[in-house]
Amino acid sequence: MSKGTKESQACLGRHQHGKSRVRVGRVWRMADGKNVFREYSVNTTLISAMEHSYLEGTNDGMTATDTQKNMCYFVAKQLDRPCSVEEYAIALGRKFVSEYPLVSAAIIEVDQKPWQRVSVDGEAHNHGFAISGTEVRMTRVEVRKSGEVDVQSGFRELRLCKTTQSGYEGFHRDQYTLLPDTKERLMASSVTCTWSYFGGAKDYDMEYKKIRQKLVDAFFGTPKSGVYSPSVQKTLYEMGESVIDGCPEVEWIMLNMPNLHFNPLHPVASKFEHDVYFPTSEPHGTIEAVVQRRQRARL
């Protein structure tokens, strides 16, 4: 630094690098003639000792983002049996922290597209698949060089609607409020949900199906009569509560539930009889909360 030059007050803080939207398709061809098919979109993030790249402009020891992309395909190839999206993400994270000395942790985020096996003439097809619905399964896994693994699972865009047994009333009113009270309305949402496990799960696919079913059951209630919802907030909490109480391996669950509005409409020369609606998703209310397990008593 030359004489008279002011010393910089800047210093490097948290830093990372990775690759986004790596698309991976994987087919496992089983001995019984059936194929198992998955399609993933992968984001990789590496936490590594690469301060010198930022401060000195040298790239020694850096795991290039192109290398990270190629590793997504390599690890998919090495998994010789069908696996859950969580197992794939864990394997990928472990490969990064074991292969590269400067990498202290790997964060792997994977979306799994909703391909489902089709049936023809009532029989499951050996190698036929179709996209089913809008729901996208996802996971976020952090693997540390120390061996610790944190797993979060979830989904987004699970669209749910019940056509009765919902209302909204008793909220604060002032000169800006136009919304009327109602005891009868449609309630619909596009649900995004994430949960965290205590130390992982023995069977991630089984746990996913179990948790998803508990959420759906709590939203709708019993088949004949359903369950009344006084607000999205109350339904959200009941959904999270059903998972916490019914799935001991889950530490917490986050639910984001925007309203998909169906506004009452009376066509020309007729009146509204809870039959014709105008669907709109903008603007919409957004309700979000975390439902967590009470602190466990120490033994």
The residues annotated with a catalytic role in the active site are 19, 65, 261
Q: Is the bond leading into 279 cis (omega within 30 degrees of zero)?
A: no
- In this structure, how many other beta carbons lie within 10 angstroms of the beta carbon of residue 257? 25
Q: Which amino acid is at 173?
A: R
Residue listed under structure tokens 């790596």: 22
Q: Which two tokens stand for residue 283?
A: 């603007």
Residue 262: closest CA among 114, 141, 159, 145:
159
In angstroms, rounded to a whole number, what is the distance separating the alpha carbons of residues 221 and 208? 20
Measure the CA–CA gap between 135 and 192, rounded to whole angstroms: 9
Measured at the alpha carbon of residue 266, what is the angle toward residues 260 and 270, in degrees to the nearest 5? Answer: 160
d(CA 75, CA 141): 15
Task: Name beta bridge partners: 280.
Answer: 261
Cβ–Cβ < 8 Å for 134, 113: no
Which of 42, 38, 9 minimizes the C-alpha distance to 26? 38
Q: Do 109 and 151 touch, CB atoms closer than 8 A?
A: no
Closest to 206 (Cα-Cα) out of 38, 79, 83: 83
Let me know how long the chain is: 299
Question: Which two structure tokens, joined as six digits, stand for 41?
Answer: 């979109």
